[in-house]
Structures are given as C-alpha cells and as structure tokens.
Amino acid sequence: MGDKQRVVVTGMGLRTPVGNTVKDVTDALKTGKSGIRYMPDWEKIERMRTKVAGVCDIEGEGASIPRHFRRSMGRVAILAALAAMDAVKDSGIGAGEIASPACGVSFGSTAGSTSEQVLQMARMIQNQSLAGVPSSAFLKGMSHTCASNLATMFHCRGPFIASCTACVSGSQGIGFGYEAISRGKAPIMITGGAEEMYFMHAAIFDVLMATSSNYNGRPRETPRPFDVARDGLVVSEGAGCLILEEYDHARRRGANVYAEILGFWTNSSGMHLTDSDPGGLEECMRAALKDAGVRAEDVEHICAHATATKGGDKAEAMATQSVYGSKTPVTALKGNMGHTLGASGAIEAICAILMGREGFMSHTLNLVEPDPDFPPLHHIMKEPLDQGFSLGINNNFAFGGVNTSLVIKNVRP
C-alpha cells in the first residue's frame, strides 16, 4: 500500500439542521445548539409515535441552481447541489478542470427523493393514469439522483460512484472517492452524501420501535447518544460535500488544504440486517487504521455514529472501547442535528475537520448520564473541550450490517 497517492480535502460545503455554512455549524457545535423541532403535521399520522425531526432551512436557496438543472432534482438532490456548489467554490478549482475527465463524483443517499417517489406513484395508482406525471419523475426519485445530478450540473466526466447504502452512504461516498484518487483514477473527486426529510423515513424506524418518542414535547432534549435515558433516533435531513484532491495536484495550484484522508475501510458484519455487531464494527475500525498506517493509541479524537438506539449505541461502545480503550475523547454529533441518514457520514466528517482546525472538541449534546451497562469511554459532556487535534476517526454504521471508518488528519490553519 506504500505506492498510494496522497488524498487531501480542499473544499467543503454543507446543509444541516443547525446551519448551512461552515461558520454557522462551527458556532452551533461550540454553543451546543440543537436543530431538532416538533413536527405538528405528524400528529395526523395514525400510530406514528415520534413527532420530532431535524429540518434544514433552505427557503429560496434552490433558485441559485440553474432551472434546467433544477427541474430534474427532488429535495435530496437540491440539498446535495447546494452543498456541492459551496464546496467547489471553496476549493478554487476552475470550472474547466471540474468539467473534465480529471474530476469524478462519488456521492450517496439512502434513496432518491422519497417525497417525489410517493407523489408520482400515488398519481398513477389512484388515478390509474399517467396524466400529470412529469417526465422528470424518475430522475428525481432514482437511487443515484444525487451523484447523477451533480455530475451533470458540473459536467464531470471522471469516475462515477453512487453509494446508496443507508446511513453509510455519505462516508462511503468519501471513502470510495479517496480510493479512486489514491489509485490514480482521477486527481479530483466531488464526494459526500445527502438526505431529505420526509415522514416516511421516520415511519420506517418508527415501525421498528427505533425512534425517539418520549421527548416529543421537549425536542431539544433528544436524541441522547450513549445516555441511559436514550429512547431512539431522530430522523433529519442535510447534505455534506468534500472536494478531495490528489496531494501534488493541490500543491501545484497552491490550494488551501483542510485535511488529509489517511485511510478508509468498509465491511459487512455478516450477522444481522438491523442489529449492529460489535465484532464487525471492531474489524472495520482496525482495518481502517491499518489502511492508514497509524496506531490506535495515536488517535486523538473519535467522531461516533451513535444514533441513540438501545442496541446500536451499546454495540458501538463495545467495539470502540475494544479498539481505542477509555482515554480517547469521543463526540457524538447526532445530539445536535439528529440522524441525517445518508448525509451523516459526510456532515460528521466535515464537523470533525472543523473541530480539529478550530481547536475544540464538541460535547455530545443531551448526554447527561452514560449508560452504566456500557464499557467506559471518554465522553465529552456538558461543554466543549478546549483542545484541538490532528488525528481523528469518523465511524458510521448502517442497516444491512454495513460499517465504515475514516481516518482523517487535520491541517491546522
């Protein structure tokens, strides 16, 4: 693995329930802001337990996307496009190089635009007619809608990867983009993930009894990662985009480098479709460290997946403690913005980079009393830790037994 090309992050953009800019999100993490809100319309849905969610405020922003591109985008692709436009601009890479075989796309989401899928299917089934179904219906709802729309909007002609792997879609988007560059397939990759808010996303987890419902009247107090009083996840929306670039390519053009992706691993636990397996999670974490060529004891911070479900948090705590022990500081960002599903890995990777560069480690919002049934971890609680870091880990896990771990080395400004 010694002949790998080095891969760095030269541009970032995001849309989240706690802010739409790097500065806003950084401030939200420093102040412990919650992006969770009560959803009154969900009261009308019979047997729906959860009534809280995280929603992005992007009112009017869609107009910044040229109409001839926007007409094939549902909300999930619009979120992806807004984040990607900011990231490309931030990178300073010229439009000509983006619109070439030198630039590829590796971007994911759990699915396409679910709201568009439901709308068009309802029209066809209820009316037994295709009347009123637009020609763009499939383009908005197809599973690879984010990657496809980004590639078309930026005219990218390099490698194309669409990761549609539930909650690791964004982290696989970054990881597969890293692998494409490290193996010499392209010097530039637009990477990340996105998800839109729609009640059906929450309903899927609600049926599985995996959503938070005890805090419907107190939305800012949930979710509660690793906490003894956690009662399930809170579904949210968002998008995160990282421009990855081959190191020498970035250096030659004098690019601003935020971080370096040192390693990545993804695996299948091969045990259960919904329950996390501590052994599979541990194997993934150790393989990522090996890919990066670093030791567990050198890691200074862990950005945990931690959805605040009963079994998932326990399995993650067991695997994390087994690999990293009880001294490495741990932050779980879903306390701030809920579970952004396919966007979570990308948003959390960006947040990890921002924390390292800004010299702090965010506390896990709503973590008051760690579950005593878990092995001990060094949780950051109550307030941020005034401490920067260089070497960090971002872990994500998904239904289907899919796991990811990214090893990121931050570059302080």
Residue 171's Cβ-count burial label (10 Å; 0-12, 13-18, 19+) is buried
For 376-393, write each residue's pLDDT tens digit: 999 999 999 999 999 999
Q: Which among 332, 250, 311, 316 has a CA at the least distance from the CA of 281? A: 316
Taking phi over 0 as left and psi of -120 to 50 as alpha, with beta for the rest, 386 belongs to beta
The distance in angstroms from the start CA to the end CA of the chain is 29
Cα radius of gyration rounded to whole Å, the chain:
20
Q: What is the average pLDDT across 243-263? A: 98
Residue 98 is assigned to a structural domain of this protein? yes
Burial of 174 (0-12, 13-18, 19+ CB in 10 A): buried
Is residue 355 situated within a structural domain? yes
Give the integer Cα–Cα distance in Å for 355 and 384.
10
User: Is there a domain that residue 413 lies in?
Assistant: no
| Residue 117 pLDDT > 80 | yes
Prior bond to 66 cis, omega within 30?
no
* Predicted local confidence at residue 164, as pLDDT: 95
Domain count, the chain: 1
Residue 10 tokens, joined: 């030269």
Domain annotation covers residue 333: yes
Q: Return the sign of the alpha-carbon dihedral for residues 229, 233, 238, 239.
A: positive
Handedness of CA 369, 354, 37, 79 (dihedral sign): negative
Question: Residue 234: how many CB atoms within 10 A of its CB?
Answer: 31
Task: State the CATH number of the domain containing residue 373.
Answer: 3.40.47.10
* pLDDT reading at 192 higher than 90: yes
Q: What is the pTM of this model?
A: 0.97
**In this structure, is residue 94 part of a structural domain?**
yes
Q: Which of 147, 86, 138 is nearest to 113 (CA)?
A: 138
Residue whose token pair is 């080095």: 6
Q: CB of 408 within 8 A of CB of 259?
A: yes
Q: What is the pLDDT of residue 2?
A: 54
Per-residue pLDDT, averaged over 161-170, amounts to 97
Show Cβ contacts of residue 46 under 8 Å, excluding neighbours closer than 6 positions: none
Residue 411 belongs to some domain of the structure = no
Domain span holding position 173: 8-406
Could you tell me if residue 279 is inside a domain? yes
**Within a domain: 412:** no
Average pLDDT of the residues of the chain: 96
**Which of 341, 337, 340 has its CA nearest to residue 35?**
337
Q: Which two tokens stand for residue 213?
A: 């419902």
* pLDDT tens readout for residues 213-243: 999 999 999 999 999 999 999 999 999 999 9
Q: Which amino acid is at 119?
A: L
List the catalytic residues.
167, 305, 339
Question: pLDDT tens digits, residue range 286-340?
Answer: 999 999 999 999 999 999 999 999 999 999 999 999 999 999 999 999 999 999 9
What are the start-end ranges of the E strands in 55-212? 103-108, 160-163, 188-195
